[in-house]
Amino acid sequence: MTERHSWRRMLEARPVRNAAADTVREPSGDLGIAVKRKRPRWHVPPLSWVVSLKPTRTVRLDRVGSQVWGLCDGERTVEAIVDAFAAEHRLSFHEARVAVTGYLSQLVQRGALAISIPSRNVSS
């Protein structure tokens, strides 16, 4: 239980949407986020003539995930998103934090989001 166990920096971070991602509302109510894929190095002719790869990868979010995505407007910090999520679902701060960071981490891994971390104050 020391200074390094603070998660304040994580809460000050700002999730930013991938500008190249397209969102599609599916009939089921889920949200699909199509993220452009980087073409693999091996995907060149003649292999690319026989092996086709989709240019995008779709991340599907349920209703709750869609709300988290909706809150990631590039302005809100993780803390603000957690607060909004907690208020919406009547959760405690840490319940909402665990849920929100779970979604954010999946979205970051799949390339739909990037995290902007504030620079550390040198004097502190």
Give the residues lining the site for another protein (CB under 8 A): 1-8, 11, 63-64, 79, 89-96, 98-99
Least CB distance to another protein at residue 93 (A): 6
Give whichever of 7 and 25 is closer to another protein, judged by the CB atom: 7
DSSP 8-state code for residue 109? H
Strand extents, DSSP E, 1-124: 14-17, 22-25, 31-36, 56-61, 113-116
For strand 22-25 and strand 56-61, is the pairing parallel, antiparallel, or unpaired? unpaired
Q: Pick between residue 64 and residue 114 the one whose CB is nearest to another protein.
A: 64
Shorter beta-carbon distance to another protein: residue 18 or 106: 106
Q: What is the token pair recorded at 49?
A: 């003539």
Burial 86-103 (b: 16+ CB within 10 A, else e): beeeebeeeebbebbbeb
- In the complex with another protein, which residue's Cβ is closer, 21 or 61? 61
